[in-house]
């Protein structure tokens, strides 16, 4: 299985900050990397697919980059509704695997 | 807009089989662009992919479930289902049915609301 490691596991930030979350795959996954946002009591929703493509309707402050084994999710100008948990997920091969999550909390 | 809705018992006894169904509306399970996945999330923990089923009946399961899982699709009802045998407390989780877009790109693009299944006597 491909292991996905996110860092940090949690972070505190203020509205207006820029936040970066990293995700590392245990082996080469090309650009088969997706990012999801999950709020308490809700299902996850996709933000970014194929490393850097924004899902329709996702605000432009969310961006993704990377390829191979190292990826980042950047949230520019953090908004109150962005406080949530973020997961990366590889779709290079099965079993599909997720990172452990990064919880973004209000400072 | 496609919608997915999980249904099934919220309480399962240890050693019994956990059975869930996902009803798809606003779209067809027969679409060749999608696989139909099940993903679970134990309380307070992360996400785990269980497996997927294709409209042809082709399946791919996470080996971590060691032969306990069976998925199927019922095109006549526009549904797909999950069976997880020999349930234990470790199977207590919110179970999501998810559309897995797998054409040019591959990602989970539509999720059900999730259903909590508790394994307890």
Q: For B14-41, how does the pLDDT look when each residue is reduced to its tens digit (9 = 90+)?
A: 999 999 999 999 999 998 899 999 999 9
Overall average pLDDT of the A1-10 stretch: 98
Given B51, B63, B108, which is nearest A46 (Cβ)?
A: B108
Question: Residue A95, preceding bond cis, omega within 30 degrees?
Answer: yes
pLDDT at A69: 98
Kindly list the residues from chain A whose CB atom is less than 8 angstroms away from the CB atom of residue B105: 49-50, 53, 91
Residues of B in contact with A36 (CB under 8 A): 47, 108
Min Cα distance B102 → chain A (Å) is 9
- Show Cβ contacts of residue B22 under 8 Å, excluding neighbours closer than 6 positions: B4, B5, B6, B7, B36, B38, B79, B80, B81, B82, B97, B112
What average pLDDT does chain B have?
96
Contact of A99 with chain B, judged by CB distance below 8 Å, is answered with yes
For residue A88, the cross-strand partners are A35
Locate the chain A residue with the closest alpha carbon to B5. A43
What confidence tens digit (pLDDT) does each residue in A67-90 have? 999 999 999 999 999 999 999 999
Q: How many CA atoms lie within 13 A of B64 on its CB side?
A: 15
Identify the CA nearest to B18 among candidates B121, B119, B120: B119
């Amino acid at each position: 299985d491909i292991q996905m490691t996110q860092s940090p596991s949690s972070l505190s930030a203020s509205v207006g900050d820029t936040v970066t979350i990293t995700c590392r795959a245990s082996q080469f996954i090309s650009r088969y990397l997706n990012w999801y946002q999950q709020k308490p009591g809700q299902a996850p929703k996709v933000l970014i697919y194929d490393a850097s493509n924004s899902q329709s309707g996702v605000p432009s402050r969310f961006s993704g980059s990377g390829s191979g084994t190292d990826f980042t999710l950047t949230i520019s100008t953090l908004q109150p509704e962005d406080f949530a948990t973020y997961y990366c997920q590889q779709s290079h091969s099965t079993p599909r695997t997720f990172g452990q999550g990064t919880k973004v909390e209000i400072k | 807009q496609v919608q997915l809705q999980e249904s099934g018992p919220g309480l399962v006894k240890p050693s019994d089989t956990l059975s869930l169904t996902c009803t798809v509306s606003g779209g067809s399970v027969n679409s060749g662009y999608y696989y139909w996945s099940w993903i679970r999330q134990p309380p307070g923990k992360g996400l785990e992919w269980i497996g997927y089923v294709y409209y042809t009946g082709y399946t791919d399961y996470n080996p971590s479930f060691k032969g306990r899982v069976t998925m199927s699709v019922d095109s006549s009802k526009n549904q797909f289902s999950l069976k997880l045998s020999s349930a234990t407390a470790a199977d207590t989780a919110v179970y999501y049915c998810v559309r897995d877009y797998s054409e040019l790109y591959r990602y989970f693009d539509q999720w059900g609301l999730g259903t909590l299944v508790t394994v307890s006597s």
